[in-house]
Structure formats: C-alpha cells, structure tokens
C-alpha cells in the first residue's frame, strides 16, 4: 500500500486529504501513515522469519510515542542510543527484553538505567565501556547481556560520508583484529554475560554487497568465538537498509534477506535487525506552506514556512527529498527553483535547482520521505517552535505531538532575579 498519493488531484495520506490535516493542525506539519509503519515492519519480519528475528526499530529515526506504540504492538523491539530513547521506548510499552543499546558514549547512569530494565543486549563499543558495564552490573547484582560491536572495516556506499560507520577510520566499534581478545577478557568478567556479536556499517545503503561483506567477516569471527568457548545466541546486523527518495522502486526486505539469510543460517544464531529509516522514512512527509515566491539574479526562490530547523537533512547531508505539490495540476508550467526556509542562513534550504510545477504563494507543498530523521533532528533554532506531528490511520487522524508554543521555548530557562 502506498501511504501517500493523489485522489482527484489532491494529495492524501491514506484516506485523509493533506489540506484537511493542515486546516486542523496548521503548518509545518509532519504526517505519518500508521498503515505504512505496520506494513513495513511486517515485511521485514516476514522476510527474515526463518532466523527468529528481533526487529529492534531504531528509535533515533523517529521516536514519537505513537510511532513507538505501533512498533510495540507489532511485537517489535527498539534499538536505542541514549537514556532518553530508553525512556521513550519503555513509556511506549516496548519491553526491556526487546531492547538493544548501541552507541560509543553510554554514560554510567544510562548503563545503570538499562541494566535495571533488563535489556536484551548492550552493544559494547570499547574496552572502557566493558569495564564500566561489568562494575555496574556487579554493584547491581545482575549480569549484563552483551555483544561487542565489531568494526568490520567495510566501506559502505552511503550518500554522505557522515553516515558511513563500518570502516576502520571511524569512532565506531572494536577493531576487528582486537575483538577476539576482548571477547576472551569479557568472558571472564563476573558481571558480563557474552551473548552475541554486533555490526552496523552505516545508513541509507542501497546495495546488499557491503552488508554481505560485513556479515561474512562477523560469521568468521563467530567460529573463533565458539572455539574459545563463548555460547553465542544472536548476531546483530545493525540497520542501514536504504529507501528510495526519488519515487523509483527501491530495495525490499526480501532483497536484504536473500543476501543475508544464507550467511547467517548456518550459524544457527538468531538475527537482530536495527532498521530505522526503512520503517519510518517513507511513512512520513512534511507539509509546508509557500509564503512568498521571489526572483533574484535570475533565480527563483520559493520561500516556505518550513526550514532547516524542521528538516535538517538537505542542508546537513545535501540530501534529496522530492517536493510534491498538494494540488496536482498537470497543466501548470514547470520552473527551476530553490525551495528555502525562513531561517537566516544561506544553508537553509529544502531543495536546490529543482524543476517543479510553478508554486504559488499560499499553496501547500509536501516534502516526501521525511518520516525518518525529520522531526527527530528538528531544533528550535531562530526560536521557531517545533512542528506538530499527526498520525493517520485509514480515515482517522490523530494529533500525536502538538505544535510547540512560544511559552514552550522558554520553559526550561531559569530567569535570574
């Protein structure tokens, strides 16, 4: 099912007209399709069904509680990278035994919080973190189920180098050559329960080959670890499954499964997946209103009420997002424009040199495939209250985060007497 499309030339999310949502909630507005989130989770679970998958949805991609409740209801879990994400996941009803904790900089209080929640696994990324986890677990009288995140030294073809994490010259994971020795050490620590092995090579990867290379390396290590007496239970292949930002058909879970299942199956290990964008990206879009259209030095600027504080990706990673008119009118002339926001920086844009039907002031535009790393990376820069978020389910729509107010902006501040 396509979550967004035109009916009678007007953009809809499932059965609800975008214009109706804007009339109710204003702009800028994030709109999510519940059907798309459910559907994408179940496609992933189905494709990897033979490996008893734990689908640990990556909360950082979109951590709205309503989204996390859909994840919980689907029987999926969470990949978290902070105490705040753990708090969100638990609040939304995702049980501790379905949560994995990744990240290079977990604090002592975050580790303690996760130990108390009895999470499925800590993906440990340094010797120092291993020591801290061991000491805390002993102090709390528990054993920490853990995996080492191994750096496989695989270069992954991500659209921007900021989101490639599998090569040896990044801060991520334990160097491949050092992993076996650190596992040996971990095996002797009383607070540590060695359970698995973890790898994550980057985000928005549209080629199965780098995943295969990484998993292949890790599978070789599994044999060594078993020879050393570790009783492994799972192999976490991380996230990073790419989606199509162009409207062209992208890869589907079956493609990733066909590439990875034959590698993992012989190990007998359970697979853990940490998909974020694959689940939430195509399930959301950002609605904005055109404020002004102006021409300067031969260029046309379409100025919308959504800016880089609402959707950072185009500015930060030069990411491409389609811009769709709310009113599809095939007769309209096309122009090449920059779609920009109200923020006082030249880097504030949603699209550059984009050919599109000539937008008029007052009309609505949709930034496509904005459900992942959209709202979750939004800020209040320029003292702009963050956008509202709406969840559409069939013909129903629910406000799942109200628009921030000016009072919200200053709420945490402490005024000096």
Query: Where along the sequence are the contacts to ligand LLP (CB under 6 A)?
Result: 58, 61, 79, 102, 163, 200, 203-204, 238-241, 274-278, 313, 317, 372-373
Strand partners for 164: 202
Q: Is 344 a catalytic residue?
A: yes
Residue 21 or 315 having the CB closest to ligand LLP: 315
Which is it for strands 10-13 and 4-7: parallel, antiparallel or unpaired?
Answer: antiparallel
Residue 183 or 241 having the CB closest to ligand LLP: 241
From 344, 414, 416, 417, the catalytic residue: 344
Q: Give me 158's structure tokens.
A: 């991500």
Nearest distance in Å: CB 180, ligand LLP: 21
Nearest distance in Å: CB 257, ligand LLP: 15
Residue 150 or 290 having the CB closest to ligand LLP: 150
Nearest distance in Å: CB 395, ligand LLP: 29
What are the C-alpha distances in Å from 157 to residues 10, 205, 210, 219, 288?
36, 6, 8, 21, 31
Residue 162 or 292 having the CB closest to ligand LLP: 162
Q: Is 185 exposed, middle or buried (0-12, 13-18, 19+ CB in 10 A)?
A: middle
What would you measure as the largest C-alpha separation in the chain, in angstroms?
71
Residue 90 or 321 having the CB closest to ligand LLP: 321
Nearest distance in Å: CB 276, ligand LLP: 3
Nearest distance in Å: CB 119, ligand LLP: 14
Residue 356 or 372 having the CB closest to ligand LLP: 372
> In whole angstroms, what is the distance from residue 65 CA to residue 40 CA?
18
Nearest distance in Å: CB 58, ligand LLP: 4
Contact 171, 209 (CB under 8 A): no
Residue 16 or 215 having the CB closest to ligand LLP: 215
* Centroid of chain to Cα 352: 24
Minimal CA–CA distance to 63: which of 38, 40, 84?
A: 84
Q: What is the Cβ-side half-sphere exposure of residue 2, based on CA atoms within 13 angstroms?
A: 11
Residue 63 or 275 having the CB closest to ligand LLP: 275
Nearest distance in Å: CB 156, ligand LLP: 10
Nearest distance in Å: CB 239, ligand LLP: 3
> In whole angstroms, what is the distance from residue 149 CA to residue 39 CA?
29
Active-site residues, by number, are 344
């Amino acid at each position: 099912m396509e979550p967004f499309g035109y009916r009678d030339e007007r953009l809809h999310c499932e059965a609800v007209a975008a214009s109706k949502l804007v009339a109710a909630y204003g702009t800028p507005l994030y709109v999510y399709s519940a059907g798309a989130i459910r559907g994408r989770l179940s496609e992933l679970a189905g494709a990897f069904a033979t490996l008893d998958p734990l689908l640990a949805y990556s909360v950082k991609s979109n951590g709205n509680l309503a989204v996390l409740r859909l994840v919980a209801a689907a029987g999926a879990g969470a990949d978290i990278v902070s105490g705040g994400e753990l708090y969100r996941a638990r609040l939304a009803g995702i049980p501790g035994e379905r949560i994995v904790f990744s990240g290079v900089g977990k604090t002592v209080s975050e580790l303690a919080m996760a130990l108390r929640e009895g999470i499925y696994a800590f993906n440990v990324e340094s010797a120092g973190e291993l020591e801290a986890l061991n000491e805390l677990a002993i102090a709390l009288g528990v054993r920490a189920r853990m995996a080492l995140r191994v750096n496989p030294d695989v270069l992954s073809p991500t659209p921007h180098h900021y989101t490639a994490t599998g090569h040896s010259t990044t801060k991520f994971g334990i160097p491949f050559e050092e992993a076996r020795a650190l596992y040996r050490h971990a095996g002797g620590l009383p607070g540590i329960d060695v359970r698995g092995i973890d790898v994550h090579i980057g985000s928005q990867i549209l080629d199965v080959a780098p995943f295969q290379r990484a998993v292949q390396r890790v599978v070789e290590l599994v044999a060594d670890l078993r020879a050393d007496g570790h009783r492994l239970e799972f192999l976490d292949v991380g996230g990073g499954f790419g989606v199509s930002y162009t409207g062209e058909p992208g890869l589907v879970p079956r493609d990733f499964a066909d590439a990875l299942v034959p590698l993992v199956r012989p190990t007998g290990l359970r697979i853990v997946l940490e998909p974020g964008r694959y689940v939430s990206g195509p399930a959301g879009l950002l609605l904005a209103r055109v404020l002004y259209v102006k021409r300067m030095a031969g260029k046309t600027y379409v100025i919308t009420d959504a800016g880089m504080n609402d959707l950072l990706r185009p500015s930060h990673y030069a990411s491409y997002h389609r811009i769709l008119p709310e009113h599809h009118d095939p007769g309209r002339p096309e122009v090449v424009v920059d779609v920009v926001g109200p923020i006082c920086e030249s880097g504030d844009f949603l699209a550059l040199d984009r050919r599109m039907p000539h937008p008029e002031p007052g009309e609505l535009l949709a930034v496509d495939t904005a459900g992942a790393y959209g709202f979750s990376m939004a800020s209040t820069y320029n003292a702009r209250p963050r956008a509202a978020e709406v969840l559409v389910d069939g013909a129903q729509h629910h406000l799942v985060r109200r628009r921030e107010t000016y009072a919200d902006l200053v709420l945490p501040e402490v005024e000096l007497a």
